[in-house]
């Protein structure tokens, strides 16, 4: 068996409770005793058993991270940052992939509950009500979601979408389609709302195509409808959908950005590498990951549940957007101001 606190106690000639104190309440033990205990621990290679500790302290030192799809390139940088932040605070992290299924999400949180001090739900697919209910059972922080009473980190995708729309309008587009994501995704609503607002201000009407699965396949499947719609520009739910659309459109004989301008959302790793490089809304995922963990640890430590943090997004203009076919009147500044033009 592994070496336990008892072994350390025996070797250092003190009682187990003293060993315990040497590790968790240094000031309660004589420096010399403590040194002796630590030396013995070192020598034996003793490591406190966190699970056993958790049993009496009710603090596991673990966090849960729940995401819809690890393989979606949006998530890994967020996971990496969150994991790093947790580790820096000496927390271990459980990770779980829900495969985009809200039931799995709920079940996962519940089954994890006893083993973690709290969990981060990244872009959850659950309803707000379900999330709020879960938050009763254990400290929760959500990313890109706004259930009442639950602290969270939001990446302000709405302002990014607004900038994207203004960019497209400035390029001269008037027929713009929105390739929307799953209804359960918070970003879907945010993007749609923001896009419609800008469109209204400019007296332009947006066609909404969707909902679509937030995957390449989702984008591919929508390509024909986009082509038939007569749109000259598309704002896609995310980069993956944008890629799917671009590739399928090419097969249908439409070139991007020549025939069709496409804007993604996420600014995932891929966006820089594709042909054409993707104009997209940059999401500060690493900050969000760190922020979510900070928020969670804060609410775990100080009991009180913190508020909501909102993070800026930005439009990154690359090569997938251009003036509409047969239009040469591109306005120079790609990212315009806030003024509306009726």
**Interface with a second copy: number of residues (CB under 8 A):** 45
Which one of 50-58, 132-140, 173-181, 269-277 is the stretch in contact with DNA (CB under 7 A)? 50-58
104 versus 306: smaller Cβ distance to a second copy = 104
Quick check: 26 binds DNA (CB under 7 A)? no
20 versus 232: smaller Cβ distance to DNA = 20
If contact means CB under 5 to 8 A according to the sort of partner, which of DNA, a second copy, none does residue 193 touch? none
Quick check: 91 binds a second copy (CB under 8 A)? no
Helix (H) or strand (E) run with residue 290 in it: helix 285-301
Q: Which of 219, 203, 201, 200 is nearest to 211 (CA)?
A: 219
Which one of 52-60, 199-207, 251-259, 309-317 is the stretch in contact with DNA (CB under 7 A)? 52-60
If contact means CB under 5 to 8 A according to the sort of partner, which of a second copy, DNA, none does residue 314 touch? none
- Residue 135's region, left for phi above 0, alpha for psi from -120 to 50, else beta, is alpha
**Cβ neighbours of residue 237 closer than 8 Å, sequence gap 6 or more:** 179, 180, 181, 185, 187, 188, 191, 210, 212, 214, 218, 265
If contact means CB under 5 to 8 A according to the sort of partner, which of DNA, a second copy, none does residue 21 touch? DNA
Quick check: 308 binds DNA (CB under 7 A)? no
Q: Within 13 A of 111's CA, how many CA atoms are on the CB side?
A: 11
Helix (H) or strand (E) run with residue 163 in it: helix 157-170
Q: Within 13 A of 334's CA, how many CA atoms are on the CB side?
A: 14
Contact status, residue 204 vs residue 176, Cβ threshold 8 Å: yes
If contact means CB under 5 to 8 A according to the sort of partner, which of a second copy, DNA, none does residue 92 touch? a second copy
**Which pair of structure tokens corresponds to residue 48?**
């406190």
Q: Could you count the other beta carbons within 10 Å of the beta carbon of residue 214?
A: 28
If contact means CB under 5 to 8 A according to the sort of partner, which of a second copy, DNA, none does residue 144 touch? none
Quick check: 4 binds DNA (CB under 7 A)? yes
Quick check: 56 binds DNA (CB under 7 A)? yes
Binder to DNA among 55, 88, 205, 340 (CB under 7 A)?
55
CA 187 to each of CA 72, 218, 236: distance values in angstroms, whole numbers, following the listed order: 15, 16, 11
Pairing state of beta strands 140-143 and 118-122?
A: parallel
Binder to a second copy among 19, 29, 41, 79 (CB under 8 A)?
79
- Minimum Å distance from CB 24 to DNA? 5
Contact status, residue 103 vs residue 160, Cβ threshold 8 Å: no
Binding region for a second copy (CB under 8 A): 2, 47-52, 54-55, 60, 62, 65, 69-71, 73, 75-77, 79-80, 83-84, 87, 92-97, 99, 110-115, 243, 247, 269-270, 273-276
Binding region for DNA (CB under 7 A): 1-2, 4-6, 13-21, 23-25, 28-30, 32-34, 46-49, 52-53, 55-57
């Amino acid at each position: 068996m592994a070496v336990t606190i008892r072994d350390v106690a025996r070797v250092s000639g003190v009682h187990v409770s003293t060993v315990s104190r040497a590790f968790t309440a240094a000031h309660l033990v004589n420096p010399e005793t403590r040194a002796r205990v630590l030396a013995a621990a070192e020598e034996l290679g003793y490591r406190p058993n966190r699970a056993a500790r958790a049993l009496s302290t009710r603090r596991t030192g673990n966090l849960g991270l729940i995401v819809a799809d690890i393989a979606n390139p949006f998530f890994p940088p967020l996971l990496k940052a969150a994991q790093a932040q947790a580790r820096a605070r000496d927390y271990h992290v459980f990770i779980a992939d829900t495969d985009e299924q809200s039931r799995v999400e709920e079940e996962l949180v519940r089954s994890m509950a006893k083993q973690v001090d709290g969990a981060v739900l990244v872009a959850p697919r659950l309803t707000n009500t379900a999330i709020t209910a879960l938050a009763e059972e254990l400290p929760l922080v959500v990313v890109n979601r706004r259930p009442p009473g639950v602290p969270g980190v939001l990446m302000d995708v709405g302002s990014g979408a607004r900038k994207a729309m203004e960019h497209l309008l400035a390029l001269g587009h008037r027929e713009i389609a929105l390739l929307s994501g799953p209804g359960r995704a918070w970003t879907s609503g945010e993007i749609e709302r923001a896009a419609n607002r800008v469109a209204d201000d400019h007296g332009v009407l947006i066609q909404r195509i969707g909902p679509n699965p937030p995957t390449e396949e989702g984008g591919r499947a929508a390509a024909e409808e986009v082509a038939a719609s007569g749109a000259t520009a598309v704002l896609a739910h995310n980069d993956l959908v944008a890629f799917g659309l671009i590739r399928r459109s090419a097969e249908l004989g439409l070139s991007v950005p020549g025939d069709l301008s496409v804007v993604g959302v996420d600014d995932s790793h891929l966006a820089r590498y594709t042909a054409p490089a993707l104009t997209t809304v940059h999401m500060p995922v690493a900050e969000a990951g760190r922020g979510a963990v900070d928020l969670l640890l804060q609410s775990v430590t100080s009991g009180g549940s913190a508020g909501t943090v909102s993070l800026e997004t930005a439009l990154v203009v690359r090569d997938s957007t251009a003036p509409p076919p047969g239009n040469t009147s591109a306005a120079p500044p790609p990212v315009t101001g806030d003024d509306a033009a009726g």
